[in-house]
Amino acid sequence: MGALRDRRRPVRLGPAPVEAHGQAHRAGGRRRGVRLVTGFVEALEAARATRDTFLQLTPARAERDAERARTIRGPLAAIPFAVKDVFDVAGTRTSGASRLLDYRSQATADAEAVRRITAAGGVCVGKTTLSELAYSGLGVNDRFGTPTIRRGGREYVVGGSSSGAAAAVRAGIVSVALASDTSGSARIPAAWAEVYGFRPSIGRYPGAGMLPLSPTLDTVGIIAADAATLIDVDAVLAREPRRREERPSAKFAVPHDDYLDGCDPAVLAEFHATIDDLRDRGISLEQRRFSALDIARGLHATGMPIVEEEAFAAYGPYLDRHPARLTAAVRRRLERARLRGREHSATPLRNAMSALRARFAEELRDDILLSPTTEIDVPTLHDVRTSAEREDELNSRALRLTMTLSYLDSPSVVLPLSSRARSHTVAPNLQLSARSGRDRRVLVEGARLATYDSRTREEESA
């Protein structure tokens, strides 16, 4: 097992054929068993020497899992997976990518989500890095390393907080990674790394053994190389087997322009171009106003954010006792929470959530909402590090759209879906959201759009 390492050099990830990688695992993982996984363990060992994606590797665990997977049938049998280091994995210490948690002992049992994937034949190869304590949407960690993606000679952040999980999938090390999502921690890095991500309805997956940030909004999340793998992992985690009769049938809705008025021009241009392309391909879309979205966003902007209040309750006491164990960015956020908490409370927003979720369900019905994942285009690492004020501004804007949907308990899928031109943003993507409890529906519709997009592009390139 690899030990935790305190590193500041960013990993640089190039383009990776992630969908083909996921499909190869789905087709071949069951046949090759230990030989396949041993190859991936060797790849991870090499990656650890040069990159900051993984905090800990578990080669011995991988060999045991692979041997057990020989007798298991199913779509996850012998498929390597990574685990964000907020989940307990037996024999490892859950660090949250923070020196604040150095006191923690090694876990004696797997988190329940890890256990379910392993029981289905998954092979755990290691634990991935993240924003410290999962408390940022940018994926920057100045103590344990910041994964970046090199595009056109520039280094772009992966997004967070599940930065290492998305980086591992993008790089082709694994075809699926277990993440968490409170404010957007699975969706944002999936979008910026151009892979697939999913936040389920609260309570759909077991959270036992997961490090908390905001108990009110925390969920287990998934990042994968393709939409079909998201569905396979969802079936295992939710203990809800896939049904052959599942067919996409939803109508799609687009929010009113006012809801997206905070988006960068490039993000809006790419979103509108993608919507136009979908209409050209015969997909029916209707623009509608959703008052629940507007109210939730307004309450978040004017009051005490729930995540801020609950994160301070968990980690604020350490500000005075062990400030040096926290990075400057997290100290800054906790200090801000302390000051804001003297005048504001998240109670009004918390009390309003039940009614807001009911209103959103009534307004959206069984339709699927399409939106950008983030208001901003993917920032460069240089831009993030321009100043503390700039980092905080980018973080706040990165989280705004995903956070609003978290308040509404909306299961959401992120796809690397772009317009035909693909000329507006660094990492084109699309977020599909449903009302609470319609998880399988939004996953199936996500797979529908992903498949339709792939077929259309194949026809255009033929």
Query: Cα separation of 168 and 35, whole Å?
Result: 20
Which ranges constitute the DSSP H helices of 240-286?
Answer: 265-280
Per-residue pLDDT of the chain (462 residues; tens, 9 = 90+): 444 444 434 444 444 445 555 555 555 443 333 444 444 566 566 556 556 899 999 989 998 998 999 999 999 998 999 999 999 999 999 999 999 999 999 999 999 999 999 999 999 999 999 999 999 999 999 999 999 999 999 999 999 999 999 999 999 889 999 999 999 999 999 999 999 999 999 999 999 999 999 999 999 999 999 999 999 999 999 999 877 656 667 799 999 999 999 999 999 999 999 999 999 988 999 999 999 999 999 888 877 789 999 999 999 999 999 999 999 999 999 999 999 999 889 999 899 999 999 999 999 999 999 999 999 999 999 999 999 999 999 999 999 999 999 999 999 999 998 777 666 789 999 999 999 999 999 999 999 999 876 665 555 555
Find out whether 327 and 315 touch, Cβ atoms under 8 Å: no
Q: Give the pLDDT of residue 25.
A: 52
Q: Which CATH number fits domain 11-238: 3.40.50.1470, 3.90.580.10, 3.90.1720.10, 3.90.1300.10?
A: 3.90.1300.10
Q: Which residues contact 119 (CB under 8 A, 6 or more apart)?
A: none
Pairing of strands 368-371, 252-255: parallel
Residues with active-site annotation: 84, 161, 185
Count CB atoms within 10 A of the CB of residue 398.
Answer: 28
In angstroms, how far is the first alpha carbon of the chain from the final one? 47
Find out whether 55 and 102 touch, Cβ atoms under 8 Å: no
Which class for 417: exposed (0-12), middle (13-18), buried (19 or more C-beta within 10 A)? buried
Residue owning tokens 């998934």: 222
Find out whether 187 and 402 touch, Cβ atoms under 8 Å: yes
The helix/strand/coil state of 280 is: helix
Q: Give the pLDDT of residue 42.
A: 60
Can you state the angle between helices 18-50 and 227-238, rounded to 10 degrees? 80
Q: Give the pLDDT of residue 20.
A: 52
Tell me how far CA of residue 11 lies from CA of 21, 49, 125, 372, in angstroms.
20, 11, 19, 26
Structure tokens at 315: 């980690």
Q: Give the pLDDT of residue 304.
A: 79
Count CB atoms within 10 A of the CB of residue 394.
Answer: 22
Q: Give the pLDDT of residue 36.
A: 47
433 phi-psi bin (left φ>0, alpha ψ -120 to 50, beta other):
beta
Find out whether 116 and 162 touch, Cβ atoms under 8 Å: no
Tell me how far CA of residue 413 lies from CA of 279, 337, 370, in angstroms.
20, 30, 10
* CATH code of the domain made up of 252-461: 3.90.1300.10
Q: Give the pLDDT of residue 6.
A: 43
Predicted TM-score of the model (pTM): 0.92
- Omega prior to 180 cis, within 30 of 0: no
Q: Give the pLDDT of residue 417.
A: 87
Query: Cα separation of 255 and 253, whole Å?
Result: 7
Enumerate the β-bridge partners of residue 155: 150
4 phi-psi bin (left φ>0, alpha ψ -120 to 50, beta other):
beta
Q: Give the pLDDT of residue 460.
A: 59
Q: Where are the domains of the chain?
A: 11-238, 252-461
Q: Give the pLDDT of residue 453.
A: 67
The length of the chain in residues reads 462
Enumerate the β-bridge partners of residue 82: 126, 177
Query: Cα separation of 299 and 313, whole Å?
Result: 20
Query: Cα separation of 257 and 233, whole Å?
Result: 34
- By C-alpha distance, which of 57, 80, 225, 84 is closest to 162? 84
| Identical topology for domains 11-238 and 252-461 | yes
Q: Give the pLDDT of residue 15.
A: 41
Q: Give the pLDDT of residue 2.
A: 45
